[in-house]
């Protein structure tokens, strides 16, 4: 368990969940009035994009050159 907490996959999972929550909050509070916005028209698309963005964000800072 300790080795998983120190691994990069743990942080990808945490930031993926945080990104999904942020995407859902964006859909809930900002969103679109109609179905014209592909990202924020439905809650699951907004949450999925948020999760992907969260994982990509943490990968930028954890990748070794």
52-60 long-range contacts (CB < 8 A, ≥24 apart) are: 52/16, 52/19, 53/19, 53/23, 54/15, 54/16, 54/17, 54/18, 54/19, 54/20, 54/22, 55/12, 55/15, 55/16, 55/19, 57/15, 57/19, 58/8, 58/11, 58/12, 58/14, 58/15, 59/8, 59/12
pLDDT at 2 over 60: yes
* Domain positions in the chain: 6-62
| Residue 14's pLDDT band (cuts 50, 70, 90) | very high
| Residue 41's pLDDT band (cuts 50, 70, 90) | confident
pTM of the predicted model as reported, rounded to 2 decimal places:
0.81
pLDDT at 39 over 80: no
């Amino acid at each position: 368990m300790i080795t998983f907490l120190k691994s990069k996959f743990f942080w990808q999972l945490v930031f993926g969940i945080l990104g999904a929550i942020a995407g859902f909050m964006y859909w809930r509070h900002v969103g679109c009035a109609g179905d014209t916005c592909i990202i924020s028209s439905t809650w699951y698309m907004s949450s999925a994009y948020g999760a992907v963005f969260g994982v990509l964000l943490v990968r930028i800072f954890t990748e070794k050159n």
